[in-house]
């Protein structure tokens, strides 16, 4: 294209123009094929060009594309909320639909604060979070995000919500091994709560598996059990940010199920619409809704396009497609297969320091020296070249890393559509 009026992520870069997508592949206007091994931004969970979803969009568009949520509800939104309540474990029975993951985490934060207000506790307004996390780009979501790179320009506008270290075993903040660390990084939360005062804290938010800010950093077995116990003991809600991990990405509908941990509120996004339409949600438990039902009876948030029928119809079709094709139960074995291949690569290339992740959310961390784990010195040094090189050869992978704890972004996510076959 000779002239473009579109603001793109890198203003001076040339982006290939994608013409169409089929399954795990994208095709640009020059006919070049790309294997979408990152599902875009870990979003295209059922692959591209799925007929059933296109049909569902068409059917809904023929009926009605937009109704305003303060005036009407729609069959698509009602059915989706019911289906999600059935698919999610426990009593996460209430869906508040929004349009992006950032809106979902901000909505979750607001619901947590409102919950305490409805109970007459007005001081609980802070949300604690971890360093090396990403909860979204809007100011509330960015306040919760411990991604130093994305916070930097807006520091004066942000709250200091990130307060504890992540469970980053490859570079343990305490220099301990997972076998004998005593889960210090989880217990650190209680130390911080004591300092800030539980009376001031509404909730703690965390990504079950850390995505963009770390590259599939997966906690050891008891981490979330301890975190939830600390939250319960201190009357602090636990918000699971499952924007990336939810909808089957790690092998269960919600990643938290794998540790038997029941969040009070869950943020969903990305895989919910699988890239076919913008849709996300704050999923809320009965217990958290109860004082709101018996109190003000209204959640003080919402967007013009919240619960948009077109987006809800897409998400409903995505969930039905996932169930009909038995996609989630196969994620674990596909993930193990792919991870073993990556571990083989690691034994060949010493710059691959760590291979990690859960289900089909896998990460590689690159190091200059795998014995000392010395990171590459320039920001995005190797990673950016590797991602570009892979794209030139028709393979799409996703950059990760928060610019903290020394890694400076030298990690990538490998997270293909959940529908990928072993041969692909
Ligand atoms: N939460 C997590 C865990 C994410 O990975 C992201 C996006 O990468 C977000 C929130 C923000 O979602 P969105 O980009 O749809 O606003």
Cα 1 to ligand 1 centroid, rounded to whole Å: 30
DSSP letter at 214? T
Pocket test for ligand 1, best of 39, 40, 45, 102 (most atoms within 8 A of CB): 102
Measured in Å, residue 243 CA sits from the centre of ligand 1 at 6
**pLDDT score recorded for residue 377:** 61
The residue contributing the CA closest to ligand 1 atom 1 is 135
* pLDDT in the model for residue 403: 57
Distance between Cα 117 and ligand 1 center (Å):
27
Residue 89 binned pLDDT confidence (cut-offs 50, 70, 90): confident
Check pLDDT > 60 for residue 408: no
Query: Which CATH number does 56-324 carry?
Result: 3.40.640.10
Q: What mean pLDDT value characterizes the chain? A: 94
How confident is the model at residue 179, as a pLDDT?
A: 84
Rounded CA-CA distance 365/386 in Å is: 12
Atom of ligand 1 nearest to the CA of 138: 16
Cα 210 from Cα 169, distance rounded (Å)? 12
> Could you read off the pLDDT of 259-290 as tens digits, one per residue?
999 999 999 999 999 999 999 999 999 999 99
More confident residue, 90 or 282: 282
How many angstroms does the Cα of residue 102 sit away from the middle of ligand 1?
6
Tell whether pTM > 0.95.
yes
Distance 31 CA to ligand 1 centre (A): 31
List the residue whose alpha carbon is closest to atom 12 of ligand 1.
101
Q: Is the pLDDT of residue 322 over 70?
A: yes
Show Cβ contacts of residue 286 under 8 Å, excluding neighbours closer than 6 positions.
91, 93, 94
* Cβ–Cβ < 8 Å for 402, 365: no
The reported pLDDT for the residue numbered 405 is 42
Look at the alpha carbons of 60, 65, 69, 72 in this order and tell me if their dihedral is positive or negative.
negative
Percentage with pLDDT > 70 across the chain: 96
Give pLDDT, residue 382.
75
Band the pLDDT of 385: cuts 50, 70, 90: confident
pLDDT exceeds 70 at position 296:
yes
Q: What is the pLDDT of residue 379?
A: 55
Where do runs of H (alpha helix) occur along 252-393? 286-293, 309-324, 331-348, 381-392
Over residues 196-218, mean pLDDT: 97
Cα(270) to ligand 1 centroid in Å equals 7
- The ligand 1 site (C-beta within 6 Å) comprises 41, 100-102, 105, 134-137, 207, 211-212, 241, 243-244, 269
**Which atom of ligand 1 is least distant from the CA of 207?**
3
Give the closest residue (by CA) to ligand 1 atom 8.
Answer: 212
What is the mean pLDDT of the segment spanning 386-413?
A: 81
Ligand 1 centroid, distance to 14 Cα (angstroms): 25
Task: Provide the pLDDT for residue 376.
Answer: 74
Q: Lowest mean pLDDT of 153-167, 205-219, 237-251, 389-403, name the range.
A: 389-403
Q: What is the pLDDT of residue 402?
A: 65
Question: Does 185 score more than 60 pLDDT?
Answer: yes
Question: Per residue in 340-379, pLDDT tens?
Answer: 999 999 999 988 999 999 999 999 998 888 888 887 765 5
Report the pLDDT value the prediction gives residue 407, as an integer from 0 to 100.
47
Q: Whose CA is nearest to atom 10 of ligand 1?
A: 135
Summarize pLDDT for 326-337 with one digit per residue, the tens. Answer: 999 999 999 999
* Over residues 98-103, mean pLDDT: 98
Q: State the distance from the centre of ligand 1 to the C-alpha of 294, rounded, in angstroms.
A: 32
Report the residue among 244, 245, 303, 358 best suited for mutation to probe ligand 1: largest number of ligand atoms under 8 A from its CB: 244
Task: List the chain domain ranges.
Answer: 56-324
* pLDDT tier for residue 158 given thresholds of 50, 70 and 90: very high
Would you say residue 406 has pLDDT above 80? no
DSSP 333-373: HHHHHHHHHHHHHHHH-TTEEEEEEETTEEEEEE-SBTTTT
So what's the pLDDT on residue 1? 58
ipTM for the predicted complex comes to 0.99
CB 237 within 8 A of CB 265: yes
- Local confidence band at 321 (pLDDT 50, 70, 90 cut-offs): very high
**pLDDT tier at 338 (50, 70, 90 boundaries)?**
very high
Q: Which mutation among 44, 100, 135 tests ligand 1's pocket best, with the greatest number of atoms within 8 A of CB? A: 135
- List helix spans (H) across 138-271: 139-144, 148-151, 184-196, 223-233
Atom nearest to 101 CA in ligand 1? 12
Q: Which residue has the tokens 């950032």?
A: 102
Q: Pick the residue with more confidence: 105 or 382?
A: 105
């Amino acid at each position: 294209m000779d002239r473009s009026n579109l603001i793109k992520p890198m203003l001076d870069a040339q982006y290939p123009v994608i013409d169409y997508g089929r399954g795990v592949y994208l095709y640009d206007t020059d006919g070049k094929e790309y294997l979408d091994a990152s599902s875009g931004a870990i979003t295209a969970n059922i692959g591209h060009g799925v007929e059933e979803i296109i049909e569902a969009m068409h059917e809904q568009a023929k009926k009605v594309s937009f109704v305003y949520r303060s005036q009407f509800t729609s069959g698509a939104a009602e059915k989706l909320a019911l289906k999600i309540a059935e698919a999610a474990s426990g009593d996460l029975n209430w869906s508040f639909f929004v349009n992006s993951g950032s809106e979902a985490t901000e909505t979750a934060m607001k619901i947590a604060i409102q919950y305490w207000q409805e109970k007459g506790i007005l001081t609980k307004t802070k949300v604690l979070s971890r360093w090396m996390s990403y909860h979204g780009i809007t100011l509330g979501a960015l306040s919760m995000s411990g991604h130093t790179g994305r916070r930097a320009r807006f520091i004066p506008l942000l709250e200091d919500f990130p307060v504890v270290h992540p469970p980053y075993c490859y570079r343990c903040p305490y220099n301990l091994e997972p076998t004998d660390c005593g889960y210090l990084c989880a217990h650190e939360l209680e130390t911080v709560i004591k300092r800030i005062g539980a009376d001031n804290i509404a909730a703690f938010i965390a990504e079950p598996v850390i995505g963009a800010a770390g590259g599939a950093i997966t906690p050891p077995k008891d981490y979330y059990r301890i975190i939830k116990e600390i939250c319960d003991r201190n009357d602090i809600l636990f918000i699971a940010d499952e924007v990336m991990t939810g909808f089957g990405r790690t092998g269960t509908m919600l990643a938290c199920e794998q540790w038997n941990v029941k969040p009070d509120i869950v943020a969903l996004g990305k895989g919910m619409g699988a890239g076919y339409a913008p849709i996300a949600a704050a999923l809320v438990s009965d217990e958290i809704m109860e004082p709101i039902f018996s109190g003000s009876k209204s959640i003080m948030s919402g967007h013009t396009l919240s619960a948009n029928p077109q987006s809800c119809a897409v998400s409903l079709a995505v969930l039905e497609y996932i169930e009909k094709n038995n996609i989630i139960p196969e994620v674990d074995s596909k993930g193990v297969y792919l991870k073993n291949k990556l571990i083989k690569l690691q034994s060949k290339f010493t710059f691959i320091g760590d291979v990690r992740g859960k289900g089909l959310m896998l990460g590689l961390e690159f190091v200059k020296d795998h014995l000392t784990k010395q990171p590459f010195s320039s920001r995005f040094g190797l990673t950016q070249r590797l991602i570009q090189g892979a794209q030139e050869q028709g393979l799409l992978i996703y950059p990760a890393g928060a610019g903290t704890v020394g890694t400076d972004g030298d990690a990538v996510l490998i997270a293909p559509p959940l529908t990928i076959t072993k041969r692909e």
